[in-house]
Amino acid sequence: MSTSDGSESVAGVSRPAAPGRGPERVGAPHGVSPVRLLERPAVPAPRLPLDLAAQVEAHRNLGAALGASAGIALPAQRRRRFRLLTVELPALVVAVVIAAIGIAVSGGTPAPAPLARQVGCVQDPVAGGCVVPEPVAQAGALYVDPTTPAARQVDEWAAQGRTADADALRALADRPVPLWLTGGADTTERVAAYVDRAAAAGALPLFVAYNMPDRDCGSFSAGGAADAAAYRSWVAAVAEGLGGAESVVVLEPDAVPHQLTGCVGEDGERYDLLAGAVDAFTAAGARVYVDAGNPGFTGDPAATADALRRAGVERAAGFSLNVANFYSTGASVAYGTAISEALGGGVRFVIDTSRNGAGRLLDAADGAPTWCNPPDRMLGTAPTLDTGLPLVDALLWIKRPGESDGSCRPGEPEAGGWFPDYALDLVDG
């Protein structure tokens, strides 16, 4: 998984081949800060059967696989029908079944929804009660950076007369994505400038902190801080740039799963570094989500929960799932709920939906791993803070769509490089 913003070489996460600086925020409705939109009352989480989403995922991928194996090239109209049968209807089934399970476990009464969805208001934890928000776009208070590679590509294609392609790519350029932080001497200045731009837009900035020593265990996104001391210094620089402003930080994609799968030492240093980052970023105003991988990385909610505890998740806002991967939202909800229960219940999480609209690729394509720039994938649910899902604070495009996972095939950009053809494929589905 990788991403870049043009000014810094930015990487995302790859998978093993096996199994207040600046002004106050002004954009939130009626004086309620953007972060408070995430701070809904805890909702009792239904116990989801872990095989439910897997069955739906299998159905979805079976349809896609059958079409591919038959060599069917569907025209646009039939492709839309095919997507409806293999992707959209199964996703709807997941949502309906999740709601039904919530009713069943509560003895016939639906589990209480977040207050904002119950009565059309936003809870104000300071003043108490709630206020009726003004209408907002689906992205809500999340900051849309107008300088991303997708935005620049739209301008370039429009200038070249590729109007249709430019219009299509606006599906990426007009959505909020995070700024990935991967090191560099100017970290404080870059973070502070981004915070200020978001504040000027009245929006909530998103960041991904991705600089752990031995990052990605030497794979496509290898790199990171030189050692523990360098990492702590970098964390302090990020925190200084945040400056007490409200923000969201996804912390170190795959660092915990890689520890669990044994590609780094067992001395516990990585957990100490993660816990220190949780405390530093939280003190600097951020809601921190410690990354927990995806349903197929370790597949062990109890072990993942234990590792998250060591990484300081109980002092964080929660954890993140599916970063740069393709698991369906239903599968991620089920897995995240199991982890939350293993943590004692009520621990919240966010899900990366940037490229999970068609689910996972089941078999390697052209000799590349299934997680590396897989063909025929689709954008997932657009970023939103209003998920309507128990325990899920946000659906986010954490992996920036259109940025390469790595040079897995001849001619593909290195991890983090902008990949316009792949971006267009994600939009077209």
Beta bridge partners of 289: 250, 318
Scanning the structure block, which residue is given the tokens 């009520």? 346
The residue among 35, 20, 116 whose CA lies nearest residue 287 is 35
Q: Phi and psi (nearest 5°) for 355?
A: -140, 25
Check if the beta carbon of residue 297 is closer than 8 Å to that of residue 261.
yes
Catalytic residue numbers, as ranges: 216
Can you spell out the DSSP letters for 212-276?
A: -TTBGGGSTT-B--SSHHHHHHHHHHHHHHHTT--EEEEE-TTHHHHHHTTSS-SSSHHHHHHHH
How far apart, in whole angstroms, are the C-alpha atoms of residue 221 and residue 406?
Answer: 7
Can you spell out the DSSP letters for 374-426?
A: -TT----SPPBS---STTEEEEE--S-TTB-S---STTPPPTT-B-HHHHHHH
Check if the beta carbon of residue 323 is closer than 8 Å to that of residue 45.
no
User: In angstroms, how far apart are the furthest CA atoms of the chain?
Assistant: 61
Check if the beta carbon of residue 338 is closer than 8 Å to that of residue 391.
no
The residue among 317, 346, 350 whose CA lies nearest residue 39 is 317
The residue among 322, 319, 320, 255 whose CA lies nearest residue 294 is 322
- Percentages helix, strand, coil for the chain (3-state, rounded to 5) are 40, 10, 50
Check if the beta carbon of residue 322 is closer than 8 Å to that of residue 397.
no
Scanning the structure block, which residue is given the tokens 């009626």? 30
- For 189, the token pair is 């200045």
